[in-house]
Amino acid sequence: MQRARAQTDEELELTLEGEFWRGNVLRARVRTRVDLARIPLFGAIGTVEVQGDAAAPVDRYRSLLGEAAPP
């Protein structure tokens, strides 16, 4: 996120869902508002919201540190 923000200087909103347990699915969503055009002295002309999401399963046989998986 730091690298993406350094490139665009836009505020990113990140949402994470799910729990890190074997067999669960973790989801990440990110969104931001981006200027359509920027003209010197006039600033931004219009904005659009850009968003993306991804999901990944936690491997059923993954070795987890700490507590055991819930029943």
pLDDT tens digits along 20-61 = 888 899 999 999 888 888 777 777 788 889 999 999 998 887
69 within domain boundaries:
no
63 within domain boundaries:
no
67 within domain boundaries:
no
Report CA-CA distances (Å) from 24 to 4, 60, 61, 67: 27, 8, 11, 15
40 within domain boundaries:
yes
**Counted domains in the chain:** 1
62 within domain boundaries:
no
64 within domain boundaries:
no
Q: Print the domain residue range for 35.
A: 2-57
pTM exceeding 0.75? no
